[in-house]
């Protein structure tokens, strides 16, 4: 587990090594204009199947873009979109979206499910996707993430459809399902949605 964590950290650190995202404002806006149609002006998506990317960690953003660009990570639209950008442009966009403050839109969630989800999150997920406590550099903050996107992503992980998923996440998910059930992942999705706008 610790070894895996260091190995993953090394990959992430490697992606950040050449991070010299120098670009002028008009250049940046030319690049991100395409993205905001789906991901929202500030990276806070309004379409429910599109993830929020505001404030996303740069290394994870770059990894996601490159994995979708290569086709290793399955995607509906992003594979084609990502192919249109160079490594440097991806770095510039990673930096831009990282600087945007996440605006968490309100979603319809079930209060009771969200309460159960909070407990499960603190037991099984908060160690990496920190919501309460200091942030972990290796994983994204899931607070306010779009419910259909979360459902879709977890299903991909369960079905082994994404070979780029971190082994840390794979093991955590297996541990969760072994001790609970696949259905109770729904509580977690309601919990993350409950952290969005009121």
Give the footprint of ligand HEC on this chain (CB under 6 A). Answer: 34-35, 37-39, 49-51, 53, 60-61, 64-65, 75-78, 81, 93, 124-125, 127-129, 138-140, 142, 150, 153-154, 166, 168-169, 172-173, 176, 188
Q: Find the shortest distance in angstroms from Cβ 168 to ligand HEC.
A: 4
- Burial class from Cβ neighbours inside 10 Å (0-12, 13-18, 19+) for residue 198 reads exposed
> Quick one: 22 or 68, whose CB is closer to ligand HEC?
68
Record the tokens describing residue 149, joined without a space: 């996107």
Q: Find the shortest distance in angstroms from Cβ 19 to ligand HEC.
A: 15
- 187, 39, 52, 166: CA torsion to nearest 10: 100
Record the tokens describing residue 114, joined without a space: 């969200």
Q: Find the shortest distance in angstroms from Cβ 7 to ligand HEC.
A: 11
């Amino acid at each position: 587990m610790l070894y895996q964590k260091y190995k993953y950290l090394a990959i992430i650190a490697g992606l950040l090594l050449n991070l010299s995202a120098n670009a002028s404002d008009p250049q940046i806006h030319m690049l991100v204009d395409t993205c905001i149609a789906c991901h929202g002006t500030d990276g806070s998506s309004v379409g429910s199947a599109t993830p929020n990317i505001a404030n996303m960690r740069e290394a994870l953003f770059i990894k996601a873009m490159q994995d979708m660009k290569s086709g290793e990570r399955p995607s509906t639209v992003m594979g084609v979109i990502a192919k249109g950008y160079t490594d440097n442009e991806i770095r510039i966009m990673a930096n831009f979206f990282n600087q945007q403050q996440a605006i968490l839109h309100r979603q319809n969630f079930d209060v009771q499910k969200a309460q159960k989800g909070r407990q499960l999150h603190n037991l099984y997920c908060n160690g990496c996707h920190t919501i309460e406590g200091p942030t972990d550099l290796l994983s994204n903050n899931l607070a306010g993430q779009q419910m259909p996107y979360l459902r879709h992503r977890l299903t991909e992980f369960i079905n082994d459809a994404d070979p780029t998923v971190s082994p840390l996440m794979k093991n955590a998910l297996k541990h969760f399902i072994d001790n609970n059930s696949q259905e109770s992942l729904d509580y977690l999705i309601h919990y993350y949605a409950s952290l969005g706008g009121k």
